[in-house]
């Protein structure tokens, strides 16, 4: 059984689908988020179980207490063999649901909130530190996050590293091109794409400044959502100040299953341009591997451009899927974009090799095999 916030996070759905394909009966349990619709394929065999409906999640003590009772009852009455907690809020309910039985649970961590902003985040972090060591095993999508988590929470076992990203079918998707991209293609020779949240920690302002120095005939497609109030307006003002506003197209929401209709028809994928700023949250400092978007670029055959942070260098040493540059310097950032766009042979090579790397290693089907092997040890 998987506990999660249903339909919000693609790897959660991928895991549910894969387990169903393996023959498991999978219950996906959580709180329904009307504010976060996702058009993502869910196997008809996955049993969706909603416990209430909230705008962003469990919002008060009574909701949380009732959810714990519900999950304990559900686990005992449905013959559940194991549970997967997919976020910090799930750790306590899942732990209590397995404490008095022989059932096991494991923790598939995606977003590591080292402190927590709200009451419930702080509560979740507290229980996460006390209880996570009792999980059969722990999974992280990113190496540095995993190391910090293991050290701070006293884990005996090194967490499994399971990179986030789409399944193999993403590489073969042949969706018709998005209409807005067709119109943009008529105006510009090259398109860059940025997928992901819009935050001051993701260095998007560096991208905007760099575009004013790019010599190539290029536009930027921005897909994502605001993680901070007013950030989009800030980017629009900055692009106007830099005299590149007409070169930016903001697509506020593209359903997950329709992303290839945009990404596949762009030329370069821009990863979140994070740095080693200690003031930034852990999730924003250590992105590569955890970001679905980078793997989606690779699956579509796009070379990736990002910054020279230590985590990025570690990832690129394993998977040479693009180039790193000094994104803090707009002129150098622009030069890296121009150099790549002007080298047709290199662009063509990336298109082939990136898909090969994705199909051989980075697709979620193969990444999740690490989890399946652990389950086989316990149940087969």
Torsion angle defined by CA atoms of residues 128, 134, 140 and 144, in that order, rounded to the nearest 10 degrees: 70
Categorize the per-residue pLDDT at 252 as very low, low, confident or very high, splitting at 50, 70 and 90: confident
Mean pLDDT calculated for residue range 3-29:
88
Query: Which pLDDT tens digit goes with each residue over 124-164?
Result: 788 888 899 999 999 999 999 999 999 988 888 889 999 99
Question: Residue 26 has what pLDDT?
Answer: 95
| Contact partners, residue 146, CB within 8 Å, separation at least 6 | 138, 140, 158, 159, 161
Mean pLDDT calculated for residue range 275-285:
73
Question: Residue 277 has what pLDDT?
Answer: 65
Sheet holding 190-195, edge to edge: 248-251, 218-223, 190-195, 268-270, 304-307, 322-325
Tokens coding 373: 């092997």
Query: Which pLDDT tens digit goes with each residue over 174-187?
Result: 889 999 999 999 99
Domains and CATH numbers, the chain: 2-165+364-379 (3.40.50.2000), 168-362 (3.40.50.2000)
pTM of the prediction? 0.92
Q: Which residue has the higher pLDDT, 269 or 128?
A: 269
Residue the block writes with tokens 């689908």: 17
Q: Is the pLDDT of residue 276 over 70?
A: no
Query: Which pLDDT tens digit goes with each residue over 300-338?
Result: 999 999 999 888 999 999 999 999 999 999 999 999 999
Question: Residue 321 has what pLDDT?
Answer: 97
| Contact partners, residue 377, CB within 8 Å, separation at least 6 | none
Question: Residue 102 has what pLDDT?
Answer: 81
Q: Which residue has the higher pLDDT, 100 or 339?
A: 339
40, 172, 194 from 258: Cα distances, Å: 9, 13, 15
Query: Which pLDDT tens digit goes with each residue over 81-124?
Result: 999 999 888 899 999 999 888 889 999 988 787 666 677 777 77
Query: Which pLDDT tens digit goes with each residue over 58-76?
Result: 667 788 888 889 999 999 8
% residues pLDDT > 90 (the chain): 62
Q: How far apart are CA 32 and CA 8, in angstroms?
A: 9
Question: Residue 184 has what pLDDT?
Answer: 96
Q: What is the DSSP string of 47-77?
A: EEEEEEE-SSS--SHHHHHHHHHHHHHHHHH
Q: Which residues of 79-90 are buried (b: 16+ CB within 10 A; e: fewer)?
A: ebebbbbbbbbb
DSSP 8-state class, residue 360: I
Question: Residue 97 has what pLDDT?
Answer: 92
Q: Is the pLDDT of residue 22 over 60?
A: yes
**105 in Cβ contact with 84 (< 8 Å):** yes
Q: Is the pLDDT of residue 36 over 60?
A: no
Q: How far apart are CA 20 and CA 302, in angstroms?
A: 31
Q: Which residues of 313-332 are buried (b: 16+ CB within 10 A; e: fewer)?
A: eebbeebebbbbbebeebee
Tokens coding 130: 């006390």
Q: Is the pLDDT of residue 204 over 90?
A: yes
**91 in Cβ contact with 64 (< 8 Å):** no
């Amino acid at each position: 059984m998987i506990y999660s916030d249903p339909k919000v996070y693609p790897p959660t759905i991928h895991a549910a689908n894969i387990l169903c394909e393996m023959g498991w009966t999978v219950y996906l349990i959580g709180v329904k988020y009307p504010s976060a619709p996702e058009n993502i394929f869910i196997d008809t065999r996955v049993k969706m179980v909603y416990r209430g409906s909230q705008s962003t999640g469990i919002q008060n003590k009574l909701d949380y207490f009732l959810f714990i009772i519900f999950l304990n009852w559900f686990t005992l009455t449905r013959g559940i063999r194991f549970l997967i907690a997919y976020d910090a809020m799930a750790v306590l309910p899942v732990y209590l649901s397995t404490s008095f039985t022989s059932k096991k649970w494991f923790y598939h961590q995606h977003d590591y909130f080292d402190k927590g902003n709200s009451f419930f985040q702080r509560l979740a972090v507290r229980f996460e530190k006390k209880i996570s060591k009792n999980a059969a095993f722990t999974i992280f999508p990113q190496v540095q996050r995993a190391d910090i988590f293991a050290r701070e929470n006293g884990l005996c076992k090194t967490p499994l590293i399971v990179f986030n990203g789409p399944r193999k079918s993403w590489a073969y998707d042949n969706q018709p091109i998005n209409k807005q991209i067709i119109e943009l293609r008529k105006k510009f020779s090259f398109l860059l794409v940025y997928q992901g949240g819009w935050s001051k920690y993701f260095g998007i302002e560096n991208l905007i400044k760099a575009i004013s120095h790019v010599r190539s005939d290029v536009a930027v497609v921005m897909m994502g959502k605001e993680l901070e109030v007013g950030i989009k307006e800030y980017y629009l003002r900055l692009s106007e100040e830099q005299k590149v506003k007409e070169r930016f197209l903001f697509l506020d929401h593209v359903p997950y299953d329709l992303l290839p209709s945009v990404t596949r028809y762009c030329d370069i994928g821009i990863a979140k341009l994070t740095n080693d700023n200690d003031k930034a949250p852990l999730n924003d400092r250590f992105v590569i591997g955890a970001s679905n978007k980078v793997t989606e670029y690779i699956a579509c055959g796009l070379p990736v451009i990002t910054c020279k942070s230590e985590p990025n260098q570690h990832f690129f040493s394993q998977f040479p899927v693009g180039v790193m540059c000094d994104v803090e310097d707009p002129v150098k950032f622009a030069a890296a974009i121009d150099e790549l766009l002007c080298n047709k042979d290199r662009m063509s090579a990336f298109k082939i090799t990136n898909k090969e790397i994705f199909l051989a290693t980075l697709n979620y089907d193969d990444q999740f095999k690490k989890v399946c092997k652990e389950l086989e040890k316990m149940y087969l």
